[in-house]
């Protein structure tokens, strides 16, 4: 086990796969001011290697979602640096950041974020249409088949189970071949079977497509699909576990008071 108190000089690197793809150095994010200030991230330094699967865990309010959002460029830190490859998010204009995010990242949320009026196929095609990219229906159908939904492409979200909806969201996320998939409790609303299918797809994105996955989860069984678990407590890195298993992750969480 290794840990860092968030010292910017100590970069916790994500081994496995290639070198570091995503890095945060000395990142702080504070909400509110004065006595009401909440230090959601308090000097976090961490790297995520290319083609690796990392789970972010920790007690409620420890800063997991804030870290994910800063790493994904959805939120801007107050200080510190966030990089994706050679793109320094913290130095980019909003417009340039959006362009990098659209090209190289995808985000999967707990509540799927599908458009209820659109079919599975049209949901998968929508981000490309909004970004003005060429529509590739064959690829969308292929991805829906890959996630086990070949016979559901014409169904709307309301006609699909939670697990099926999340698999549509994964097909949508994979459409533009992102380097990094950020997932915020992607199995939080699913039963064990549906959650297992989603986690297997995220694992396959890393193993077969060489993509990088960073996932917030509260579930030690979900974390066991990852190569590594980074633990947060009070906005700081509290631990870093390689090749995690359910038991070790659970004992970490007990120690952190979860
Ligand atoms: N928009 C906001 N305004 C004010 N405070 C916020 C905001 N977003 C997050 N916070 C606070 O920052 C801290 C970290 O929040 P964050 O959502 O990152 O934690 P988390 O570990 O993901 O929690 P959970 O497991 O409950 O989802 C919390 O104390 C939270 O209340």
Residues 39/211, Cβ–Cβ less than 8 Å: no
- Our answer on whether the CB atom of 60 is closer than 6 Å to any ligand 1 atom is yes
Residues 215/183, Cβ–Cβ less than 8 Å: yes
Tell whether pTM > 0.95.
Answer: no
The Cβ of residue 15 has, within 10 Å, a number of other Cβ atoms equal to 12
Q: How confident is the model at residue 131 (pLDDT cuts 50, 70, 90)?
A: confident
Q: How far apart are CA 254 and CA 250, in angstroms?
A: 6
End-to-end CA distance of the chain: give it in Å, rounded.
18
pLDDT tens-digit map of 3-47: 333 333 334 444 445 689 999 999 999 999 999 999 999 999 999
Closest CA to 221 of 202, 248, 182: 248
Closest CA to 171 of 194, 196, 205, 203: 205
3-class state of residue 18 by DSSP: coil
Q: Report if residue 70 sits inside a domain.
A: yes
Q: Which domain holds residue 193?
A: 20-255
Atom of ligand 1 nearest to the CA of 41: 14
Which residue's structure tokens are 């994706």?
Answer: 84
pLDDT tens-digit map of 112-128: 999 999 999 999 999 99
Looking at residue 152, which CATH number applies to its domain? 3.40.50.300
- Our answer on whether the CB atom of 148 is closer than 6 Å to any ligand 1 atom is no
Q: What percent of the chain has pLDDT over 90?
A: 89
Both tokens assigned to 35: 């006595």
Number of domains in the chain: 1
Number of helical H runs and strand E runs in the chain: 8, 10
**DSSP one-letter string for 171-229:** HHHHTT--SEEEEESTTTTS-HHHHHHHHHHHHHHHHTT--EEEEE-S-HHHHTTSSEE
Q: Report if residue 131 sits inside a domain.
A: yes
Q: Report if residue 83 sits inside a domain.
A: yes
ipTM over cut 0.90 = yes
Q: Report if residue 5 sits inside a domain.
A: no
C-alpha 68 – ligand 1 centre gap (Å): 11
C-alpha 174 – ligand 1 centre gap (Å): 28
């Amino acid at each position: 086990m290794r840990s860092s108190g968030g010292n910017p000089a100590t970069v916790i690197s994500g081994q496995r796969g290639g070198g570091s793809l995503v890095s945060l150095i000395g990142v702080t994010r504070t909400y509110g001011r004065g006595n009401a200030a909440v230090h959601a991230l308090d000097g976090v330094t961490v790297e995520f290697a290319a083609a690796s699967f990392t789970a972010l865990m920790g007690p409620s309010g420890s800063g997991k979602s804030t870290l994910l959002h800063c790493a994904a460029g959805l939120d801007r830190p107050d200080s510190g640096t966030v990089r994706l490859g050679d793109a320094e998010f913290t130095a980019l204009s909003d417009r340039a950041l959006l362009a990098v995010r659209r090209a190289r990242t995808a985000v999967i949320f707990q509540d799927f974020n599908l458009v209820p009026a659109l079919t599975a196929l049209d949901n998968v095609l929508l981000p490309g249409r909004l970004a003005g990219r060429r529509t590739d229906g064959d690829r969308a159908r292929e991805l829906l088949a890959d996630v086990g939904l070949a016979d559901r492409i014409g169904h709307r979200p309301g006609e699909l189970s939670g697990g099926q909806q999340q698999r549509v969201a994964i097909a949508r996320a994979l459409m533009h071949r992102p380097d990094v998939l950020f997932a915020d409790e992607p199995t939080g609303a699913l039963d064990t079977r549906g959650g297992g299918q989603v986690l297997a797809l995220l694992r396959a994105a890393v193993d077969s497509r060489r993509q990088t996955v960073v996932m917030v989860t509260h579930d030690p069984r979900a974390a066991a699909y990852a190569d590594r678990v980074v633990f947060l407590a009070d906005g700081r890195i509290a631990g870093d576990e390689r090749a995690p298993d359910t038991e070790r992750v659970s004992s970490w969480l007990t120690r952190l008071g979860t």
